[in-house]
Amino acid sequence: MDVLNNLITGFSVALTLQNLLYCFIGCMVGTLIGVLPGIGPVATIAMLLPLTFKLPPEAALIMLAGIYYGAQYGGSTTAILVNLPGEASSVVTALDGYKMAQKGRAGAALSISAIGSFFAGTVGTLLIVMFAKPLTEMAQKFGPAEYCSLMALGLVAAIVLASGSVIKAIAMVFLGLMIGLIGTDVNTGAQRFTFNIPELSDGIDFAPIAMGLFGIAEIIANLEKRITRDVGETKITSLWPTREEFRQSWPAALRGTALGSVLGVLPGGGPTLGAFSAYTLEKKLSKTPQQFGQGAPAGVAAPEAANNAAAQTSFIPMLTLGIPSNAVMALMVGAMIIQGIQPGPEVMTKKPELFWGMIASMWVGNLMLVIINLPLIGIWVKLLTVPYRFLYPSILLFCCIGAYSLQNSTFHVLMVAIFGVLGYVFLKLGCEGAPFLLGLVLGPQMEEYFRRAMLLSRGDPTVFVTRPLSAGLLAVTAVLLILMALPAMQRKRQEAFQEEG
Amino acid sequence: MNRFLSKDFLAGLMFLGFGGVAYVAAFTDLSRFFGQSRLALGTAVRMGPGYVPQMLAFIMMALGAIIALRAAVASGEPIESGKWKPIVMITLGVVAFGVLLDPANVPAIVSWVVSGVPRWENPVSGLLPALVAMVFLAALGGDEFKLTETIAMCAVLFIICYVIFKWGLSMNIAMLQGVW
């Protein structure tokens, strides 16, 4: 009954006119950036973050969440219709979705993707509702030592599941932690790495950093590559899948949902990994694997369900433990802090209307996306014909204004420029931005917990291994690290990511 | 020679550099050159402000060294050459936007370069000049620059910004310093 009550609380918040409006705006903006390649949810959320200052916390978080899962929908629409995945998570959808479209089954592919996504979104929302309470209760037993270990586990897992070089990702986490230390030390008031710049004494806001790393650097890289886009004409005849298509896709959507849900909870997992794994799984399970890549409905249903399920469940660690599992969640943590809410297990008990309202709004948002998007497909595809040379100055401008409006200070605009250059260097050196951002957001908290744990244990570092929960978390962390170091595992991991790419 | 231009080797150097600068800036006698006072380490029980940063600086340097050494032994992926135009023009565009938005910025920069300049306010500042400068610099960073198109883009973007930020969100931002 408890769950039901909570859901009622949630829906009573989510269904107010104001929150419905912000949910709608979020979903629309999300779909828009999902459709457009060259700008992702991380940069967009960073850009819009300052605008959410004046909103009530519920509305702000509902809108930002809408951007995130809206982007998953938008990305798949263009993947199917014009073979241009707007987001990394819909790259696999393009394989079979576009083939279906070429065979004249574009409408069916879109419906399969929309229905699969909606189903997965519903399941994902239910999972959050079910797991929120037990996880929160567990987290309330955590002391500083456990928190510290949990964050270490989160950061390491995020690295293991991300593609690319492990050791470079670890170094990026540490770099993020270090940049996170810039500012005034909370315990002593000492200025750390502020280099006599007064603006730095409050620390560097992570929004300009995210804009620089994920927005500006991306634009520069795109300009070097020169994006060429040929938008072919795809006619949508019927939106209804045939019985055969439906028969093939529903089990795939179910499996995709399950796999995506699990991978979404894991740090570093998220929609992209979910979609890739679900596609691979379907291909392995299928009796007719040769059909994959030739327009198999299961090849659309599985990754679409998986990326949406993962987008939903990646909120679980953030909402219950205050630990972000990917770059978008790191920004959501930041959005909460801006609103004066300390993310963590207390959010559920202290701010039930925010907590449940946000969860309920995700379901509402998913429903909105299905209803609104199918009739709007024509418009979204039209948008793709806008050349990139019109798009990037606009993105740049909104980044700049967003950064300025953080504190009405041009210092933040210069920060965007600096981190844009740094992000470009990271790209050139093959260093990923996501681990950096996670380290940056978790850094100050982690130091705080570390210092508190050491103070409580009177300077005895064994506290991290003598407390059973903390020891368990650290053991898992160690196992992950050792696994990564084994040559056999390294090869396996490379193969897995090869298959993805 | 080529192995020293690999992505991994340079990345290692970068991490080594970040760790090294952090260490030198906060824990050596050279710290005053960085406008930074030396951070006290404290003890494990009562950690000073420098305890965790020093730990991180050491770890960064170690990781950087390992990455660079591994890359120097086994030759890795070479670094791709970039183009100068996008990176320079986009960065300049963002910087120009920041500088032109606030009437105090240009005078501040001038007074750094030429000392003894009387205080003044830059009349050509505000959203309009900042936007125009940024859009033009950004457009010049791309491959296809068309003058009329860029002017049109400035106009459209300015109207959008005015409607959203000034009119919609009533942000406190001048369009043109002292005029609007």
Which residues are CB-contacts of A425 (< 8 A; sequence separation ≥ 6)? B14
Reduced to 3 states (helix: H, G, I; strand: E, B; else coil), residue A191 is strand
Q: For A309-319, how does the pLDDT look when each residue is reduced to its tens digit (9 = 90+)?
A: 888 888 888 88
**Residue B94: which of A165, A175, A216 has the nearest Cβ?**
A216
Minimum mean pLDDT range among A476-480, B162-166, B167-171: B167-171
Spatial contact of A189 and B37, defined as CB atoms under 8 Å apart:
no
What are the structure tokens assigned to A238, written together?
A: 């019927």
Mean pLDDT of B36-58: 85
| Confidence band of A237 (pLDDT split at 50, 70, 90) | low
- Under an 8 A CB cutoff, do A190 and B79 touch? no
Is B29 an interface residue toward A (CB < 8 Å)? no
Minimum mean pLDDT range among A158-162, A299-303, A322-326, A380-384: A158-162
Which of A25, A167, A462 is best to mutate for the B interface (most B CBs within 10 A)? A167
Residue A251 exposed, middle or buried by CB count within 10 Å (0-12, 13-18, 19+): middle
Residues of A in contact with B79 (CB under 8 A): 428-429
Q: Which H helix or E strand runs over A184?
A: strand A183-184
- Residue-level pLDDT at A314: 86
- Under an 8 A CB cutoff, do A174 and B60 touch? yes
Task: Look at A357 and B76; give whichever has higher pLDDT.
Answer: A357
| CA–CA separation, B13 and B85 (whole Å) | 25
| CA–CA separation, A305 and A258 (whole Å) | 9
ipTM: 0.91
C-beta neighbour count of B17 within 10 angstroms: 13
Spatial contact of A55 and A12, defined as CB atoms under 8 Å apart:
no
**Residue B35: which of A195, A219, A405 has the nearest Cβ?**
A195
**Residue A175: which of B7, B15, B35 has the nearest Cβ?**
B15
Q: For A251-309, how does the pLDDT look when each residue is reduced to its tens digit (9 = 90+)?
A: 888 898 988 888 888 766 677 778 888 888 888 888 887 888 788 888 888 888 998 88
Asked if the model's pLDDT at residue A492 lies above 50, the reply is: yes
